[in-house]
Amino acid sequence: MSRYDFTTQRLFIDAPLNEGARIVMDKGQTNYLVNVLRMREGDPVLIFNGRDGEWQATLAEAGRKGAVLTADALSREQTPASPLMYLFAPIKQARLDYMVQKAVEMGVGHIRPVITRRTQVARLNDERLRANAIEAAEQCGVLSIPEIEAPEQLTALLARWPKDEPERRIIFCDEDETGADPVSILRGLPKGPLAVLIGPEGGFSPEEREALHALPFVTAIPLGPRILRADTAAVAALALVQAVAGDWTADAPGPRV
């Protein structure tokens, strides 16, 4: 039997959740539940807020001014956010939407855009990034919404890394790294939190690659013999890291959803 209930509609609620809580939906959520899904009073729904676990709820009122949900019983306890961090150079919007959604599905707990020399997109829509993260969490049974930070220059992030993240190693997906076995490299790392770094379309500059290879907290891995688009590389790298050194391994703690 599945660990999750995928038959009941699931909805992120930005409000405290506890037994008996009444949550008034905003206009968009009301329209989605009542007009798009055609839910009626008494219909069940699963709700979560990223803090208080997942709750079985009921559509108590379905009026035009705002639907009301009541939280009935806790269905899943809140789990800690995944320790996996994702660092990426922003790309064009449609593929960025996909990349953020897949990062959430793959178990990323912290999303940090970085600006490199060849980054083509420097400005991001924070609300759209969060909306994509929430949508992926709703659809895939994820309990924690990843923290999403504002874009930062790669050089500035690397300069502060030893102070800000003294225990976290960066896995640098180097398109020019050849002849190495990424599985063996990842298996040889000491236990600890990881960050996966994916570069921009066009790759890292020679100066950036040289700087990354010189840092003691950075480990470079290849992603195979083919050139991958940035969004494809993200999925490949996150799957590889989760399978070898993350929460897909047999000795990992319980599911981080």
Spell out the SS3 assignment of 140-181. Answer: HCCCCCCEECCCEEHHHHHHHHHHHCCCCEEEEECCCCCCCC
What is the CATH T-level fold of the domain 10-76, as seen in this structure? Ribosomal Protein L25; Chain P (2.40.240)
Helix (H) or strand (E) holding 10: strand 10-12
Domain 85-245 has CATH 3.40.1280.10: yes
How far apart CA 221 and CA 218 sit, in angstroms, is 10
Secondary structure letter of residue 37 according to DSSP: S
Residue 1 pLDDT grade (very low, low, confident, very high; cuts 50, 70, 90): very low
Residue 252 pLDDT grade (very low, low, confident, very high; cuts 50, 70, 90): low
Query: What's the pTM value of the predicted model, to 2 decimals?
Result: 0.91
Helix (H) or strand (E) holding 47: strand 44-48
Q: What is the pLDDT of residues 79-125, one digit of tens each?
A: 999 999 999 999 988 899 999 999 999 999 999 999 999 998 878 99
- Hey, where are the domains in the chain? 10-76, 85-245
Residue 231 pLDDT grade (very low, low, confident, very high; cuts 50, 70, 90): very high
Beta bridge partners of 113: 88
User: 3-state SS of 69-96?
Assistant: EEEEEEEECCCCCCCCEEEECCCCHHHH
